[in-house]
Chain A
């Protein structure tokens, strides 16, 4: 590989990029904007689920029960009339659960008999529904014990400590994930367009009719786009630090190696898409919608990978973002360093090599396709 030619190609890409002012602005403004929006708005923790309680008992127990439910951060008690049936109330869509405390509950409790509290839960959102169930069960057990005949005092006191994020500062969890999603999307887009545009415009003929080899063409474009991607990475990580205080929790080296690797994977993916597609439109759709959705949903950004069906867990291994998320979460939250993430870094390197070959294959002859 002739390094000088690679440099020539790389320089040309960078100059072209710089000329398109709007694209340059977008390449930085958009990731930053997305970081800010996601960082401030996305919250995965369940909060403020509206529920209604129909209290037919009107006893100290029921008041205690209702106030305790309201005190949880997950549920919010919304007043609803006692007349309509729970089904009607739920159908109206303003609350996600209706809890009915029938008359005589406290008396039943005191007498040691089972007390029939009922609840109709909207299971459209399954996570919500299970959360509601969990809270209702825990609250009932807790409050009910106060009004039930005395039993043996609790023998186990459970102290729960949540590490790395004790305040539940969700930004610390979300933001490193957003880094991964952003860096998975934009470099691929820019790379796919950079690759297919030359083909569509016909200017690729200049490269074909010269000494440039396919490997040099790809390397040149890759280096140029890598620089842009790294600049984007620097920008968003700086802002993440400035706005939410997301800082290194331990050894930064895996991140410093992993970031260029991830950007490289995504750039190569984009180049591969661009090499195989014939029009900018198709390249855009492939790299835009498909890649974006996969990066967001299959990388572990929102939902943990280990809850997916096994086939998809396997599939997620080829999503570079999935590995990179582990690296960023370790670097900024967990801080365990190499022992925890060396496999991810290695996997990224392997994926990069495979993608490089994939991008090189359709270009290797450096000639026009035979279909004319």
Chain B
């Protein structure tokens, strides 16, 4: 028992840490519930699909032709009309004040132009505050008009047969759950390990530990242990709940998934410990943790697509462990991918975890001196 590392001592330390965490109800709830409950709630709530847009119509032409066009717009329920306006100005005002998402203006000379064989100019004004929604609306409108224009032609417009793979039901929750899992594990894991480590420093229990034969390495490992187990449990429970609520499938290898998740959780905890070496109080630790966790979450592809980011941020995302974890989870869960497909991301995650552990352990131990 005199060496730098002793299994027996490690076990004693682990036992203490487990008793401490399991005995603390409040902390236990807070560590377990958010991953499980938040994943379920948020996956259920978040819905990027714009099913319909409210629009105001002013029909200055008031002819059967214009009414036919308006019917085409409202036919498939994407554009939902809101009253009839008398003039363009009131439509513009409605869009400007945000009362409606779009405004359609059919000019007075619409029918005449069509009969003359000239294209009838129709104006669609979209609320661009949410440019994502606006572009979607523009796309829908263009499609509607295209189909309307082709209605008289002998041959139907060319339209491809589209098959949706992996998620034929287009359940948005299936997309979000992996991202949410990774994100929530990251933020909860960071906060928990960071504030635990600082608390130890704060309360002087660290000093006492240092006077025992326990090496700093053992102390660190013991800190990570229980948190690690807890998060694995939370992970499994979240998956179970998601399966119950959304029918989330698990098409890949369970052992592979848990193995990689373990690496990820260890990485998150290590970052937390690293943060605790920079801070002296709980308050500082919290601020730094949130500041670290949120960008990692937002720039990981969990909620906003990576491909849309400016190139430099796409490159930076390669060192974001959450990004790799999300890709892996989605691949395993939905595509049933095996190691041969996901190995680049696993490698990246592994490298990150090793670096994180090494840096945080070194700093932690040096501050123990």
Q: Taking the complex as a whole, does A directly touch B, i.e. does some CB pair lie under 8 Å apart?
A: yes
Contact with B along A338-358 (1 / 0, CB 8 A): 011000000000000000000
B282 proximity list for chain A (CB < 8 A): 193, 280-281, 284
Distance from B211 Cβ to chain A, minimum over Cβ atoms (Å): 25
B281 within 8 A of A: yes
Contact with B along A285-321 (1 / 0, CB 8 A): 1101110110011100011100111001001000000
Q: How far is the CA of A120 from the CA of B168 in the complex (A)?
A: 11
Q: How far is the CA of A244 from the CA of B77 in the complex (A)?
A: 37
A279 within 8 A of B: yes
Q: Is the CB of A138 within 8 A of B146?
A: yes
Q: How far is the CA of A120 from the CA of B284 in the complex (A)?
A: 49
A367 within 8 A of B: no
A209 within 8 A of B: no
Q: Is the CB of B284 within 8 A of A26?
A: yes
Question: Given A288-B191, A304-B50, is A189 in contact with B124 using a C-beta cutoff of 8 Å?
Answer: no
Contact with A along B125-164 (1 / 0, CB 8 A): 1111111111100111111011111101111111111111
Q: Is the interface of B mostly helix, strand, loop or mixed?
A: helix
Question: Given A22-B284, A140-B160, is A41 in contact with B309 using a C-beta cutoff of 8 Å?
Answer: yes
Q: Which A residues from 107 to 165 make CB contacts under 8 A with B?
A: 109, 112-131, 133-138, 140-145, 148-149, 151-165
Q: Can you name 14 A-B residue pairings with CB atoms under 8 Å? A: A41-B295, A45-B131, A46-B135, A126-B49, A138-B139, A151-B153, A155-B148, A156-B120, A159-B121, A159-B124, A278-B26, A292-B290, A297-B42, A340-B98
Known: A42-B309, A149-B155, A296-B298. 5 other contacts (CB 8 A): A126-B170, A128-B305, A134-B143, A151-B152, A281-B27
**Which residues of chain B have a CB within 8 Å of any CB of chain A?**
26-27, 30-31, 34, 38, 41-42, 44-51, 69, 95-98, 114, 117, 119-135, 138-143, 145-150, 152-168, 170-172, 174-175, 183-184, 187-188, 191-192, 195-196, 199, 279-284, 286-291, 294-295, 298-299, 303-305, 307-310, 313, 327, 330-331, 334-335, 337, 341-342
**Which residues of chain A have a CB within 8 Å of any CB of chain B?**
20, 22-23, 26-27, 30, 33-34, 37-38, 40-50, 87, 90-93, 99, 109, 112-131, 133-138, 140-145, 148-149, 151-166, 168, 170, 173, 185-186, 189-190, 193, 197, 277-282, 284-286, 288-290, 292-293, 296-298, 302-304, 307-309, 312, 315, 326, 329-330, 333-336, 339-340
